[in-house]
Structure 1
């Protein structure tokens, strides 16, 4: 796999694991990410259908209640009558009427019965540890302390510390009988100092009981006629919802005459009944964001415009008082706003149901972590250093803006804390470590190159980062070094013709770009460019395992040929077709003094032979040739023998191979061509001129073109007419 892409994947994987782990331990995405999204978004208008009647400080003073919660019941009957007179759609009490009140209950119950639209709250009590640790809404827990379970015998030992149980306590019998319906509404106890972010849809621990906001929503839909065309229960909605939750049966599908609106509502009902039992609340703002009227003002008939409204009645102070019960922290609350009353949280959940909008994550957070990590990793690998950090920071800013916009638009919650506060710095750190490692690695290669090619400068090169010794003078050193290595020689075909058609400056620009393209495959595969002269370049591989060097040189040659082809397709100045020759053997790397100047290069018969081999390409119509000893057994490289040649200036014949392709890229056509060519070459080397000519001609008829086949066909036809006097199967070339 390409190294930059591998690094991007590693960055994504490590940042994902780190971010997920920290989030699992600290819940940072919820406690910081979600809360920050709420604060950045600010307030949004709640539905006008929801109104809160606040049992506030003004009303306490008006009725002289002295903060005695139990005395309020004597005023509820008239409040209901006033709300009913104004045509309120529903009246929902976020209050618990558990204990009977013989003095006020008759009038209260009668007002509830006459209104016919009053919903009341069941109390939820939770036992956490032992027999004394009850908690829940305050009135319920203080007044109902009987044990959840009974121990056998007379043992008085405490219950298990691990026992957690819940129970529902219904309103007094007369109030329950008069009410339209009743359901629990559970919030975390204030003493735990927890922030309320989720609301219960169903309390599955209480026999799949629906909560009061869900019940209110359904009764409001019924009141407003929105349930038309949807199967409705004959029983109370609380009973119907419980049965549906238990069975989670899909309702009867709408008929073809059902409207799209009815189908959409049916789908929403299915989701509410059959999916998760809690939802993240989409809060509208800090406390008192909803329309809030004082209890005493409504009681005295001073408030109008309550027709068809859902009126929530409950405790809600205008000024926050820490000693008051039933007030909770939300993502918006702070020291200035105070905490939010339970009745406003109930109204929030109802409003979310009415709008069909809760805070939801479109996809699992882990998927966002992976995608964000991949994007950041890709940027940091494509643009290393400060440029990559700037690009990733820009991407982080764009992602943060998209997250805020998406949250504001639809309540969709995309992770923001983990990607920006954990993954992004983690990716920067890994990128900087890799950059430092690459810098040291490249410096090591430069030092090796200087040591091999320019030994007189080695004492002026820093031995470690941050060091420099200009005061050191070059010591007496040997200016040459004998090595065994591999040599790659290149030459531009038709260079003289191209140069004659352009100005020297145009050729300088062309060659400057050309040699950058040519040198990249060499340095990529750990080669050393030993010399560049005119239209020729020489590269060497030394000081490595022979098999590794051979493979590296072959890969460099193949990539060089492809890079030159792309360069020629892109350039407008002139094409520079390039021939490549490969050979291995002894060389001397050293300094040659020429007057007052010095030049360092590779010298020896190996270098000359590599240059002669690249010259054979023009006869055979090939691009990459290598000596057989060099490339015969290189793993993962496909080559084909092209014959024995006596090169100019050499007595000994040399077997040559054409480097064809990487094994994984080899096509069936190339394989068949090579097999047929081998048969013709064998016939040619055995002096069977007619058979060889027929074989090469058949190959050209099948594949249209093949340089070596054309070369040997011409020779075979010539030898048919004038056979050589003495034949050893060796082709002698008369010129370079």
Structure 2
């Protein structure tokens, strides 16, 4: 009875917790679906889809800035260009709500001449009457009349559950000239919600079809089912309302019209993956190959600008790609319709999660302890591989975040807890047997696993050890001044978060934080090959610099500019006793030199400096020599390099500024002050912020006027 009971408990508890977490945090979409997209990567884009982007270049060339109303005077010529080139269909992701008598007649004539223009209808969403207003572009900004009205001034506010949606049609002159119109609503980007699915029909708007669906029906060859005496949008609404009697429709059409009101989008890649042409280029006739294409016209800036409106999070969005324009999402949905490539779930997620949890539970109960953990891990990896394969090849979305991140660890925990329980019970039975049969041995047995009598304990090991390792030292620039500007409580809160940000890269790259004092942190690497220690420390230093920069941007207090120094050598690691407490420390000259090296950053205007040996043979790290220095308290000079970054693509090519600086440094070390000054100045002409070039230029100019009595190429620093 024990095994079936445990299998049921592990399965049920894992499924319930996974479901609750998903309901609270939407883990399957935020982690599961988004991760599957990123693993799969970009897909082949449909050749029929073209986006005409109202981008930054067009704003400048046409002189329209970001005001959408000023673009309308150019749309007529754009339509003429697209019509002459044989575009199959032209879809405007714009709302022509406000009339503009000076340009509307010309635009209407161009629409009639083309005979294939679809336009967007504004959709507004209200919650609690007039509060929490949502919409897109001028649809939102210029039409905020209340969705409902109340008589008098009642003291109570409207219910939070009261949600109203309405549609605003284009101005009559434009609406009558267009082939047809339909809405396309997206969640307002101020909510920072990720767009994973899109409506096919708006049941809250009298079963109106969405604009991509309408475009797809116009794109299909005409059939006997299509209307001849009314717009397709009206016909689609009628078919949606009469789904129960829609036996005359073919199967794909009936599925699209009658099954559900939204589909999960199958994104082709990050923003700007679909073919995108600049509005100004098309307007000026510089773009060809538009014969038979479906052209979507709308705002789609080519450069990511967080402040711009009508941009939305997608599964591919990150700090590098930015958000996706609404017109790209519209074109993506049309492409999915064209290729029948939406993301689908082959079975309800709860069924898949239940079967998965049952298999894991059976394995863990059948193979007790670590063997069961290993087998279940292999089973989980096989499931993960299957979900990735099915997503890439069949566009099937199986639950992955809940099964792998919640059900599996919880199943392990329950299984190991039961194993521990069984072990304790067995140990108890053994102890009871010994007490009864061999009472003289009771004092030598453990009361619980791992808990032995005092006589069985061995002597305590030594508390210190000598190692050959690498030390990383950090310091906050201008910390004394910063601390004087804030209260102790503010500094405590600031530093508490700062050291969490600073320490994470160390731990993630297998380093040990040996000391944190005031504004300084010391980390060490040891017990690993020298090359591995060097690579890990450099990667940690680069990630620390990036993490601190992000931390400073998000902090409302004074930025903490951090300097980092790296040095390798002999260390003593151990616990130092002070009174009744002990402190773990790294001791030795290596620690002192690392601290001195980080101080050299102050002179060179750099962030990460290391002794020359550390950057040797690190092919994935970009570094440059910055000279030899005799630091305070040390007679032997130290050759230093600046750790610049990671080699990625073109980063591996020689840097012009670094090349000029290297030549200047060689001349400086030979005492050729004039030539050195010329080369450092040339480097600064290319990059005025290059700190090492600025430092050595000042030195070269000073030495040219008053050369040192004895020169060995070593810079002497007389302070920390």
Q: Structure 1 residues 342-351 or 188-197, which shifts more?
A: 188-197
Q: Following the alignment from structure 1 to structure 2, what is the Cα–Cα distance between the partners of residues 470 and 35?
A: 55
Match of 2:72 in 1: 73
Residues 249-328 of structure 1 aligned to structure 2 (within 5 Å): 249-253=244-248, 266-328=250-312
Residues 362-377 of structure 1 aligned to structure 2 (within 5 Å): 362-377=346-361
Which segments of 5 or more consecutive residues in structure 1 lack a partner in the other structure? 255-265, 473-736
Residues 16-415 of structure 1 aligned to structure 2 (within 5 Å): 16-131=15-130, 133-152=132-151, 155=153, 160-162=158-160, 163-221=162-220, 225=221, 228=223, 234-253=229-248, 266-415=250-399
**What is the total number of aligned residue pairs between the two structures?**
455
Match of 1:419 in 2: 403
Q: Is the 8 Å Cα contact of residues 130 and 158 (structure 1) preserved in structure 2?
A: no
- Cα 1:432–1:104 shift into 2, 3 Å: same
Q: Which digits, 9 at most, give the CA deviation of each residue in 1:644-674, with x for residues without a partner?
A: xxxxxxxxxxxxxxxxxxxxxxxxxxxxxxx
Q: Is the 8 Å Cα contact of residues 130 and 159 (structure 1) preserved in structure 2?
A: no
Q: Is the 8 Å Cα contact of residues 137 and 187 (structure 1) preserved in structure 2?
A: yes
- Cα 1:312–1:443 shift into 2, 3 Å: same
Q: Is the 8 Å Cα contact of residues 131 and 158 (structure 1) preserved in structure 2?
A: no
Q: CA deviation at 1:159?
A: 6.1
The counterpart of 2:428, out of the listed 444, 448, 455, is 444
- Cα 1:435–1:170 shift into 2, 3 Å: same
Q: Is the 8 Å Cα contact of residues 239 and 246 (structure 2) preserved in structure 1?
A: no
Q: CA deviation at 1:321?
A: 1.8
Q: Following the alignment from structure 2 to structure 1, what is the Cα–Cα distance between the partners of residues 28 and 87?
A: 40
What SS does the aligned partner of 2:102 have?
A: coil
What SS does the aligned partner of 2:94 have?
A: coil
Q: Following the alignment from structure 2 to structure 1, what is the Cα–Cα distance between the partners of residues 352 and 124?
A: 38
Looking at CA atoms only, which structure, 1 or 2, has the larger radius of gyration?
Answer: 1
Q: CA deviation at 1:233?
A: 5.9
Q: Following the alignment from structure 2 to structure 1, what is the Cα–Cα distance between the partners of residues 451 and 269?
A: 60
Q: Following the alignment from structure 1 to structure 2, what is the Cα–Cα distance between the partners of residues 437 and 233?
A: 76
What SS does the aligned partner of 2:95 have?
A: coil
- Cα 1:93–1:471 shift into 2, 3 Å: closer
Q: Following the alignment from structure 1 to structure 2, what is the Cα–Cα distance between the partners of residues 132 and 456?
A: 80
Which segments of 5 or more consecutive residues in structure 2 lack a partner in the other structure? 457-720
> RMSD between aligned alpha carbons?
2.2
- Cα 1:457–1:233 shift into 2, 3 Å: farther
- Cα 1:78–1:234 shift into 2, 3 Å: same
Q: CA deviation at 1:27?
A: 1.1
Q: Structure 1 residues 366-375 or 142-151, which shifts more?
A: 142-151
- Cα 1:451–1:55 shift into 2, 3 Å: same
Q: Is the 8 Å Cα contact of residues 279 and 359 (structure 1) preserved in structure 2?
A: yes
- Cα 1:440–1:63 shift into 2, 3 Å: same
Q: Following the alignment from structure 1 to structure 2, what is the Cα–Cα distance between the partners of residues 328 and 471?
A: 68
Match of 2:480 in 1: none
Q: Following the alignment from structure 1 to structure 2, what is the Cα–Cα distance between the partners of residues 382 and 159?
A: 59
Q: Following the alignment from structure 1 to structure 2, what is the Cα–Cα distance between the partners of residues 181 and 467?
A: 80
Q: Structure 1 residues 367-376 or 124-133, which shifts more?
A: 124-133
Q: Is the 8 Å Cα contact of residues 363 and 376 (structure 2) preserved in structure 1?
A: yes
Q: Which digits, 9 at most, give the CA deviation of each residue in 1:265-324, with x for residues without a partner?
A: x22211221121112111111100000011111111111111111000001111122232
Q: CA deviation at 1:120?
A: 0.4
Q: Following the alignment from structure 2 to structure 1, what is the Cα–Cα distance between the partners of residues 85 and 267?
A: 28
Q: Is the 8 Å Cα contact of residues 129 and 148 (structure 2) preserved in structure 1?
A: no
Q: Following the alignment from structure 2 to structure 1, what is the Cα–Cα distance between the partners of residues 12 and 100?
A: 64
Match of 2:691 in 1: none
- Cα 1:183–1:390 shift into 2, 3 Å: same
Q: CA deviation at 1:138?
A: 2.3
Q: Following the alignment from structure 2 to structure 1, what is the Cα–Cα distance between the partners of residues 371 and 12?
A: 22
